[in-house]
Structure 1
Amino acid sequence: MSETIILGIESSCDDTSAAIIKGNQILSNIAANQSIHNEYGGVVPELASRAHQQNIIPVVTKSFSKANIQQNDICAIGFTRGPGLLGSLLVGTSFAKSLAMSLDVPLIEVNHLQAHILAHFIEDANPTPPEFPFLCLTVSGGHTMIVLVKDYFDMEIIGKTIDDAAGEAFDKIGKIFDLDYPAGPIIDKLAKEGNSNAFKFNKPRLDNYDYSFSGIKTSVLYFIQKEVKKNPDFIQEHLNDLCASIQKAIIEILMNKLENAAKDLGVKEVAIAGGVSANSALRQAMQDNQKKLGWNIYIPKFEYTTDNAAMIAMVAKLKYERSEFTDLRTTATSKYDL
């Protein structure tokens, strides 16, 4: 029997992406970004859904071309049903349903958060995939959570943010500094030239594995307002040190809870996923804990950290093997429990 070939479609936020997977190997992973949101300092849902409509056919066409296969070669179509921006999800869902109907192939719905975690099982995501059970810190602009992964589709959220996501905190703090959107990668770059011990910011005190990032954002805002009153050029003069200090604080908050969860549950297999898993300081903290705490760590390739269709195709492949298909009457949903 020939290997399964599946088309994956991702449209949960502002990236339109399509990928082809054969077995566990990604043949193509194409994405169109939406730079229009930069001037607004965040994603504008109406503009995002319009851009998806313009991008989806070219992106899917290019994914087939790069994979060097025909539409009739695919066995199924996987798509992001949620969570995400409803207008954006509707574009991907409608397109996937229409194409599945025209090609007479099964349709497979995918949970976007589940896909970030299961991206670790793509053939070239890691030298070896994680072993069950493992902990996965899933951290992005919209989500921050610690997930205990017992099997491919047996996951338990043991901690999550009670307010802002970590990526959202980076972006909001970046706005205070008048940095472009998204600010996370810019802060990461500037932090490399700064002193991470230059400034101290308050960290939340929560008893369980839950996170909170609104407090550090407010702490930075008040601190900056106070300093700028004394010196209008304070941000410009101390930008690298500010970025380094803030990044250190956010990474310490993330890692502290993850370390506690791993210790309490006796888990040594630890992974990170989501857009913020591309952050160099977070990756370094994971590597430090590999040596210090004896963790087996799993850090995905950069292309599988941001929203991408390869991870959607991976989950669709796993569901295809289990004959978990979706009715054509399915609809997109902005909320979709893990």
Structure 2
Amino acid sequence: MSADTLLILGIETSCDETAAAVVARDSDGRGRILADVVFSQLDLHAAFGGVVPEIAARSHLTVIDQLIAEALARSQVRLADIDGIAVTSGPGLIGGLMVGLMTAKALAMATSKPMLAINHLEGHALTARLTDAVAFPYLLLLVSGGHTQLILVKGVGDYERWGTTIDDALGEAFDKTAKLLGLPYPGGPAVEAAAKAGDPQRFRLPIPLRGTPTPDFSFSGLKTALRQAAEREAPLSEATIADLCAGFQLAVTKSLADRVQIALRAFAYRFGTGAHPALVVAGGVAANQAIRATLLELAGTHGFRFIAPPLALCTDNAAMIAWAGAERMAAGFPADALDVAPRARWPLDADAKAVIGFGRRGAKA
């Protein structure tokens, strides 16, 4: 390691994965993942069809110390060599966030290292710079269990939210669809697998918000249409379940393409496409191959490069949190005070207005 290389320990406990990582950032902006350890709680929550917050928090508490020790050992880096400790401080499940944040505070206090309280969405937003050295500005489509947003990434700490869901996140819609059809949790992989054997034309499901001028998203009406179709066909055969999944996936894919192309046109109008700007997709739903293929074609049509980080870095992980911390340190952002509190809701764009559908508490992120 050169003297001007930043070494950052990352900690992620926002939902149902506990993770620790060590990432290096060189002075020229290149990044390397030295270790990335993830403990999945999938088996703990599968019987409930979704994440149980208290079970998640207790599991984080049980394994977090072990994972940090393992990440340091794999990276062959001592805690004394670390330049900073980055930790997810929101948005997410408050119990899990507390576990990670208190662990990071204890380590920072014991070692006199700076602590960086990271917005989980910023981790997703900056991952493409770790994997593909993407230059600013670029367009991000974040599609996960808790978030569906279109974000203009102008720089570290500088984001504009162009579109968001007015009801469910796309990952949540996949989970609820799977549960409705008797498929296992998590719903995304289960629905995608079933859809491969189905006829997407058998059930003509609505394309949410197609043609509306702002690139927001909605999936509640699509879920209702699918439920009504399933009720009409009950009892459901394996073939009918496959056809419903194929129809749902097709409707989702067409909706995403319709929404994203609005943002691509807005980006091109504002910045041009001469430098072949990037459309970056991140979040767990980015693992869906049908969605990836559609977005790849759409990006090329509009003169954009399509970038999707490796699947392991699309889902929740600590490498993206460590990288966000390294980017913030390199950009001159100060360390956070040790009295910083976890935030269940934390918009990446603090100036973005809530859209209809968020309820009294406002946007989650």
2:113 aligns with 105
2:340 aligns with 330
Letter in 2 for 1:295: F
Contact 1:203/1:215, CA 8 A, preserved across alignment: no
Residues 1:120 and 2:122 aligned together: no
Alpha-carbon distance in structure 2 between the residues aligned to 1:273 and 1:215: 24
Fraction of identical pairs, as percent: 37
Residues 1:60 and 2:68 aligned together: yes
1:257 aligns with 259
Alpha-carbon distance in structure 2 between the residues aligned to 1:106 and 1:165: 34
**Secondary structure of the corresponding residue to residue 102 of structure 1:** helix
Alignment of 1:1-338 (within 5 A): 1-23=3-25, 24-34=31-41, 35-122=43-130, 125-126=131-132, 129-205=133-209, 206-228=212-234, 232=235, 234-266=236-268, 268-321=277-330, 322-338=332-348
Q: How much does 1:235 deviate?
A: 3.9
Letter in 2 for 1:158: W
Contact 1:9/1:19, CA 8 A, preserved across alignment: yes
Alpha-carbon distance in structure 2 between the residues aligned to 1:311 and 1:13: 15
Alpha-carbon distance in structure 1 between the residues aligned to 2:13 and 2:297: 35
Higher relative contact order (CA 8 A, sep 6+): 1
**Secondary structure of the corresponding residue to residue 323 of structure 2:** helix
Q: Deviations over 1:5-29 (max 9, x none)?
A: 1100000001000000111110011
Contact 1:167/1:184, CA 8 A, preserved across alignment: yes
Q: How much does 1:2 deviate?
A: 4.1
- Structure 2: gaps (5+ residues): 26-30, 349-365
Contact 2:213/2:262, CA 8 A, preserved across alignment: no
RMSD: 1.3
- Structure 1: gaps (5+ residues): none
Q: Deviations over 1:180-220 (max 9, x none)?
A: 11110111122223232232111223441111100001110
Letter in 2 for 1:137: L
Letter in 2 for 1:107: M
Q: Deviations over 1:233-280 (max 9, x none)?
A: x34232222222211111211121111111133164211111111111
**Secondary structure of the corresponding residue to residue 110 of structure 1:** strand
Alpha-carbon distance in structure 1 between the residues aligned to 2:127 and 2:262: 24
Contact 1:177/1:235, CA 8 A, preserved across alignment: no
Once the two structures are overlaid, the 10-residue window that deviates more, 243-252 or 16-25, is: 243-252
Contact 1:79/1:312, CA 8 A, preserved across alignment: yes
Alpha-carbon distance in structure 2 between the residues aligned to 1:96 and 1:264: 40
Q: How much does 1:307 deviate?
A: 0.5
Letter in 1 for 2:344: S
**Secondary structure of the corresponding residue to residue 81 of structure 1:** strand
Letter in 2 for 1:10: E
Letter in 1 for 2:56: A
